[in-house]
Chain A
Amino acid sequence: MKKAVVNLSAIGFALLFLLPLVWMIVVSLKPDGVSATNVRDWVDFSDLTLDNYRKIFNSSGILKWMLNSFLIGTITTVISLLISSLGAFAFSQKRFRTKVVLYVFVASGLLIPVEALLIPLYDTVLHLQLLDNMWGIILPGLTNPLGIMLLKQFMDGIPQNYVEAARLDGCRDFRLWRSVFVPLTSSAMVSVGIFYFILSWNNFIWPYIAITSEEHMVLAAALPTFLSNNTLLVNNIMAASAIAAIPAMAVFIVLQKNIVQGVAMTGIKG
C-alpha cells in the first residue's frame, strides 16, 4: 500500500515534468489561435498542421543558429579538453617551484563568474575585434579551470609504475602525456567534455551581448531577440521552441547514461 502510493507519486511527478513539453508539441501542431487548454483540443487530431514549423523555418535562421551553437560548443569542448589535459599533466606529474602558486592562480578562475565581468570582457573582446564573431564566444569559454582541476585528480590516481615503465621505454613528457595519460583518463575526459558542451550550449548572457548579427547568433540568445522582433502567435513560438528542444532531447535520450554520469562526476568534485 505504502509502496503503491510512493510509486504513484513518482508517476505523478513524471507526468508533471513531461506535461509542459508535451503541451509545447501539441500547441505547435495546432492552427493559429488554438492553445490546447482543454481536453477536446488534445484529442482532436483533425486540425493538426505543420504550418507553424514551415513558418519558423522560412522566416528565421533557426537551423543556422543551431549549427552555430553546435559548432561553438564542439570547438570550445575540444580545445578545452586539450588545454585542460595538458595543464592537468603539469600539475599532476611535473615537479616545479611555482606549482602551488600557479595552481591557486588557475583555481581562482572559479571565483568570479562571467556575469560579473560582462563590461570589461566586452571591452576586451571589442578591442580584439571579436565582437559578433564565433571566436568572441569560444575564447572566453576556454578560461574555466574546472577541467584542469578534475583531470588532475584523475591523473593523480594513475599508478606510478605505469609512468616509470613508460620513462624506461624512453618516453619524454609529451609522449608520456599523449600515450599514457590521455588514454587512461579518456572516460573522465568524456564526462568533462559533456559538462563543457552543455555549459556552452546553454550559455545565454554572453552571446546575447557579444553577438549582434542574425547570421552569427547562437540558438539560446537568438530566440528571445527573434521573437521580440516579430509578432508571433503562441503556436509559432511553440514550434520554434520545439525545433530547438527536440535535437537536445534526442541527444540526451541517446547519451543519457554518459550525460548523467558526467554531470554527477563534475558536479560532485567541482
Chain B
Amino acid sequence: MLHDSVAKRRSLKALAAELSAIAFLVPFLVPFLVFYVWPVVKGGWMSLHVWGVAGKQRFVGLDNYAKILRDDNFYANLWHSFYFVLIFVPLVIVFGLVLALLVNRKMPMRALFRSVYFLPYVLSVSIVCFIWMRMLDSGSGLVNSILAAFGLPGANWLTDPDWAWWSIAITTVWWTVGFVMVLFLAGLQEIPVEFYEAANIDGANSYQRFRHITLPGLSGVMRVQIFYQVIASLKLFGQVHIMTQGGPGDTTNTFVRYIYLTGFKKDLFGLASAQSLLFCLIMLIITAAQYRFMNKRED
C-alpha cells in the first residue's frame, strides 16, 4: 500500500519534471516539427506519387526513383556539383589560410586588412553575382580590360564552358574566403606561443614552424572547415542560377538547380521530391563519412 503510493508519487514527480522541461522546448519544437520534420516526412510520401503544384495525382511506388536512375541529367548534374567541390574547396581553404597567416602577423593596420578581406561576405549572393557578371563581361567587363592593358588575351568567362566554372569559383572565393580566414584566425590564437618560442630556440626556420606547429595546430579548424565547405558547395544554387542559368548549355547546372527546375519549372513535384531525397542521402553519406574520419583522426 505504502510502497504503491510512494512509487506513484515518484512517477508523478518524474512526469512533472518531464513536462516542465519539455515546456521550455515547445516554442522551438513547434516550428521545428511543422517546417522541418513534417516536410521531411511529406517529401518521402510525395516522392512515391505523381504530384503537381495542384496536388496528388496518383501513386506510382518507386517509379520516380527508377526514372531518376535512368536519367542522364541526374548523373551529369550530380557530377557538376561535385566538380565544383573539387575546384572550389581547395581554393577557398588555401587562400583563406594564406589570408589568415598574413593578418596574424604584426603589421600596421592589421584590423583594417582583416575587415577588407571579410567585407564581401556581408553582401547577399545576388549583389555579388551582379558585380562579377559585369566584371567578367566579355565586352565591357573590367577583367578583360585589365588583361588587355597587359597585352593578354581576354576570355568569354561566363559563356565559355572551359571558364564558366572557374568564374563561378572565383566569384564565390571573393565572396566567402573572409569567413574561412576568420575561422583560421581564431584557430591560430589557440596555438600556444610557447610552441613557437621553443621552436625558435631549436633553430627551426619559418617553413618548419609552419609545417610542424601551425598546420597541426589548425587541424581541428581545418577539418571542420573542409567539411563545412564541401556541404556548402554541394548546395550551390544562387551563383549558377543568376550568373550562368546553368549554362553554357548545361555545363554549370548543379544538383539543387536540377531539383528546382524539375519541381518549379516542370511542375513535377513527385519526381523532384525523389531527387531531393537522393540528394539528402548523398549528403548524409558524406556527413557520416566525415564524422568517422574526424573521430578516427582524433584517437
Instruction: Name A's B-contacting residues (CB within 8 A).
Output: 6-7, 9-10, 13-14, 17-21, 23-24, 27, 35-38, 82-84, 86-87, 89-91, 94-99, 102, 106, 109, 111-113, 115-125, 128, 139-140, 142-143, 145, 148, 173, 177, 198, 201-202, 204-205, 209, 219-221, 223-224, 227, 234, 237-238, 240-241, 244-245, 248-249, 251-253, 256, 259-260, 263-265, 267-268
Residues of A within 8 A of B269 (CB): 119, 123
Smallest CB gap from B106: residue in A: A3
Smallest CB gap from B36: residue in A: A143
Q: Which of B84-92, B183-191, B195-203 contacts A (4 or more CB under 8 A)?
A: B183-191
CA distance A21 to B119 in the complex (A): 10
**In the complex, how many angstroms separate the beta carbon of B186 from the nearest chain A beta carbon?**
4
Contact assessment for B134 and A90 in the assembled complex, using a CB-CB cutoff below 8 Å:
no
Is B22 interfacial (CB 8 A cutoff)?
Answer: yes
Residues of A within 8 A of B259 (CB): 115-116, 118-119
Contact assessment for A82 and B43 in the assembled complex, using a CB-CB cutoff below 8 Å:
no
Smallest CB gap from B110: residue in A: A10
CA distance A150 to B18 in the complex (A): 22
Given contacts A119-B273, A121-B39, contact A268 B28 (CB under 8 A): no
Given contacts A21-B120, A83-B31, A123-B46, 11 further A-B contacts (CB under 8 A): A89-B24, A90-B25, A94-B21, A111-B283, A119-B259, A201-B124, A205-B237, A205-B260, A264-B182, A267-B182, A268-B221
CA distance A94 to B297 in the complex (A): 34
Contact assessment for A219 and B116 in the assembled complex, using a CB-CB cutoff below 8 Å:
no
CA distance A191 to B89 in the complex (A): 26
CA distance A205 to B255 in the complex (A): 14
Is B118 interfacial (CB 8 A cutoff)?
Answer: yes
Contact assessment for B122 and A21 in the assembled complex, using a CB-CB cutoff below 8 Å:
no
Contact of B127 among A89, A124, A139, A244 (CB under 8 A): A244
**In the complex, how many angstroms separate the beta carbon of A239 from the nearest chain B beta carbon?**
11
CA distance A124 to B45 in the complex (A): 13
Contact assessment for B131 and A253 in the assembled complex, using a CB-CB cutoff below 8 Å:
no
Given contacts A94-B20, A201-B124, contact A10 B103 (CB under 8 A): yes
Contact assessment for A204 and B24 in the assembled complex, using a CB-CB cutoff below 8 Å:
no
Instruction: Name B's A-contacting residues (CB within 8 A).
Output: 14, 17-18, 20-22, 24-25, 27-29, 31-32, 34-36, 38-40, 42-43, 46, 99, 102-103, 105, 107, 111, 113-127, 129-132, 134-135, 137, 140-142, 145, 149, 174, 179, 182-183, 185-187, 221, 224, 228, 231, 235, 237-238, 241-242, 256, 259-260, 263-264, 269, 272-273, 276-277, 279-280, 283-284, 287
Contact assessment for B27 and A82 in the assembled complex, using a CB-CB cutoff below 8 Å:
yes
CA distance A267 to B279 in the complex (A): 24
**In the complex, how many angstroms separate the beta carbon of B212 from the nearest chain A beta carbon?**
20
| Number of residue pairs A-B, CB distance < 8 angstroms | 262
Contact assessment for A18 and B132 in the assembled complex, using a CB-CB cutoff below 8 Å:
no
Q: List 5 A-B pairs, minimum CB-CB distance, nearest first.
A: A37-B145, A90-B24, A120-B43, A120-B39, A94-B21
Given contacts A234-B140, A241-B130, A263-B182, contact A87 B273 (CB under 8 A): no
**In the complex, how many angstroms separate the beta carbon of A209 from the nearest chain B beta carbon?**
6
Contact assessment for A17 and B119 in the assembled complex, using a CB-CB cutoff below 8 Å:
yes
Given contacts A37-B142, A204-B124, A205-B238, contact A119 B25 (CB under 8 A): no
Contact assessment for B182 and A260 in the assembled complex, using a CB-CB cutoff below 8 Å:
yes
CA distance A99 to B36 in the complex (A): 20
**In the complex, how many angstroms separate the beta carbon of B264 from the nearest chain A beta carbon?**
6
Residues of B within 8 A of A263 (CB): 121, 179, 182-183
Contact assessment for B18 and A124 in the assembled complex, using a CB-CB cutoff below 8 Å:
no
Contact assessment for B39 and A23 in the assembled complex, using a CB-CB cutoff below 8 Å:
no
Contact assessment for B124 and A244 in the assembled complex, using a CB-CB cutoff below 8 Å:
yes
Of the listed residues B32, B34, B228, B259, the one surrounded by the most CB atoms of chain A closer than 10 A to its CB is: B32
CA distance A91 to B25 in the complex (A): 9
CA distance A27 to B130 in the complex (A): 13
Contact assessment for A84 and B115 in the assembled complex, using a CB-CB cutoff below 8 Å:
no
Contact of B40 among A82, A112, A148 (CB under 8 A): A112
Residues of B within 8 A of A224 (CB): 126, 129, 241-242
Smallest CB gap from A39: residue in B: B149
**In the complex, how many angstroms separate the beta carbon of A7 from the nearest chain B beta carbon?**
6
**In the complex, how many angstroms separate the beta carbon of B87 from the nearest chain A beta carbon?**
19
Contact of A87 among B27, B107, B228, B284 (CB under 8 A): B27
Contact assessment for B124 and A20 in the assembled complex, using a CB-CB cutoff below 8 Å:
no
Contact assessment for B28 and A234 in the assembled complex, using a CB-CB cutoff below 8 Å:
no
Contact of A86 among B27, B121, B149, B179 (CB under 8 A): B27
Q: Can you list 10 pairs linking A and B with CB atoms under 8 Å apart?
A: A112-B36, A116-B276, A120-B39, A120-B276, A121-B39, A124-B39, A139-B31, A204-B124, A244-B126, A252-B122
CA distance A24 to B228 in the complex (A): 30
**In the complex, how many angstroms separate the beta carbon of A82 from the nearest chain B beta carbon?**
7
Contact of A237 among B134, B174, B231, B256 (CB under 8 A): B134
Contact assessment for B35 and A245 in the assembled complex, using a CB-CB cutoff below 8 Å:
no
Of the listed residues A38, A227, A241, the one surrounded by the most CB atoms of chain B closer than 10 A to its CB is: A241
CA distance A125 to B182 in the complex (A): 36
Residues of A within 8 A of B183 (CB): 263-264, 267-268
Smallest CB gap from A95: residue in B: B17
